[in-house]
């Protein structure tokens, strides 16, 4: 009988195997009414799990908040306009904030709008810097695509827990973007209804009246499709929040003493890089002729 598992196990298979092994390990022990954190750490040590990782998982469980329920018709039928992701990561409040700011600036093109103790709000970069970065991305198709293109405000709340761990909550606000989709859908529906109303006032034949209803049905249907087009944008933004937390979890936080470069220097470097990329592409095109 040939083995069903491949020679090398991919990440999805590994996650399933590890989860199942943990379930079997837990089922093989009688934990009575529960375990203390010290007992969990001791059991984890028996199976070779790092105490630091177990402590992080315990802190995540302690601070875990149930996902918010949809509020109102727009959240339930279209998509939420305020998204949230949270996790416990290693590092100090200052180092995590510095690392997150650097990552959002580089990959999501967001800069600090306001910073207070434990709370930082971010907004999209100005129009010139944003245009330069978009042009730069055109010459780097392998680069990761930003996920917060429709987000008008990002909020990070970093709460210190035990020594070396912080709870990080990220909130993305897309209310302006959703409002524009709803407004477009409403305009389409209203236009269709207005056309139908005008046609019904002009015709009196039953068959013609049925045809006159078509513009209203088309307008309402197109409007519904337009409004629902916001859903993948909301999902993409949620993915971006999780991706930012993944980065904080995978890589050590930046040293708090490493200040970011001034915005003027960053814009100058981006403009220079774009000019170099354009020059290289033009020269390549001329050489091919």
Residue 235's pLDDT band, with cuts at 50, 70 and 90, is very high
Assign 3-class secondary structure to 57-117. Answer: HHHHHHHCCCCCCCCHHHHHHCCCCEEEEEEEEECCHHHHHHHHHHHHHHHHCEEEEEEEC
Do 78 and 164 contact (CB within 8 A), yes or no?
no
- pLDDT mean across residues, the chain: 75
Report the pLDDT averaged over residues 194-218: 81
> 36 or 213: whose pLDDT is higher?
213
> 46 or 193: whose pLDDT is higher?
193
> 265 or 225: whose pLDDT is higher?
225
Report the pLDDT averaged over residues 32-41: 60
- pLDDT recorded at residue 242: 92
Kindly tell me if the per-residue pLDDT of 20 is higher than 80. no
Residue 257's pLDDT band, with cuts at 50, 70 and 90, is very low
Do 214 and 59 contact (CB within 8 A), yes or no?
no
> 165 or 237: whose pLDDT is higher?
237
SS3 call for 121: strand
Report the pLDDT averaged over residues 155-168: 86
> 98 or 23: whose pLDDT is higher?
98
- pLDDT recorded at residue 202: 80
> 256 or 226: whose pLDDT is higher?
226
- pLDDT recorded at residue 258: 46
- Report DSSP state, residue 155: E
Predicted model pTM: 0.65
pLDDT in tens, 84-120: 998 888 888 888 999 999 999 888 889 999 988 888 9
pLDDT exceeding 70 applies to what percent of the chain? Answer: 58
Is residue 157 packed enough to be buried (19+ CB in 10 Å), middle (13-18) or exposed (0-12)?
middle
- pLDDT recorded at residue 65: 55
Kindly tell me if the per-residue pLDDT of 233 is higher than 90. yes
- pLDDT recorded at residue 1: 43
Kindly tell me if the per-residue pLDDT of 24 is higher than 70. no
Taking the CA atoms of residue 66, residue 71, residue 76 and residue 82 in that order, the dihedral angle to the nearest 10 degrees is -70
**CATH architecture assignment, domain 78-175+244-273:** 2-Layer Sandwich (3.30)
- pLDDT recorded at residue 286: 54
251's enclosing H/E stretch is none
Count of CB atoms situated within 10 Å of the CB of 165: 21
Per the DSSP assignment, residues forming a β-bridge with 169 are 86, 157
Report the pLDDT averaged over residues 253-271: 49
């Amino acid at each position: 009988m040939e083995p069903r598992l491949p020679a090398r196990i991919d990440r999805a298979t590994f996650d399933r195997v590890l989860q199942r092994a943990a379930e079997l390990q837990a089922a093989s022990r009688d934990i009575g009414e529960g375990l203390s954190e010290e007992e969990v750490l001791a059991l984890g040590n028996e199976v070779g799990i790092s105490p630091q990782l177990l402590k992080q998982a315990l802190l995540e469980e302690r601070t875990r908040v149930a996902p918010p329920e949809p509020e109102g018709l727009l959240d339930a039928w279209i998509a939420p306009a305020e998204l949230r992701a949270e996790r416990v990561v290693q590092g100090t409040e200052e180092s995590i904030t510095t690392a997150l700011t650097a990552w959002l600036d580089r990959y999501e093109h967001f800069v600090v709008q306001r910073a207070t103790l434990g709370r930082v709000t971010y907004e999209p970069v100005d129009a010139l810097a944003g245009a330069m970065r978009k042009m730069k991305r055109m010459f780097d198709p392998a680069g990761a695509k930003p996920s917060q293109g429709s987000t008008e405000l990002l909020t990070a709340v970093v709460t210190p827990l035990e020594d070396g761990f912080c709870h990080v909550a990220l909130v993305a606000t897309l209310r302006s973007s959703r409002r524009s989709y709803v407004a477009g859908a409403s305009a389409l529906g209203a236009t269709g209804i207005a056309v139908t109303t005008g046609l019904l006032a002009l015709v009196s034949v039953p068959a013609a009246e049925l045809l006159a209803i078509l513009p209203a049905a088309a307008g309402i249907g197109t409007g519904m499709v337009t409004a629902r087009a916001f859903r993948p944008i909301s999902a993409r933004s949620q993915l971006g929040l999780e991706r930012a937390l993944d980065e904080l979890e995978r890589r050590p936080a930046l040293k708090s003493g490493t200040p970011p470069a001034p915005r003027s220097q960053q814009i100058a470097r981006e403009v220079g890089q774009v000019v170099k990329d354009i020059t290289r592409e033009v020269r390549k095109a001329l050489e091919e002729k």
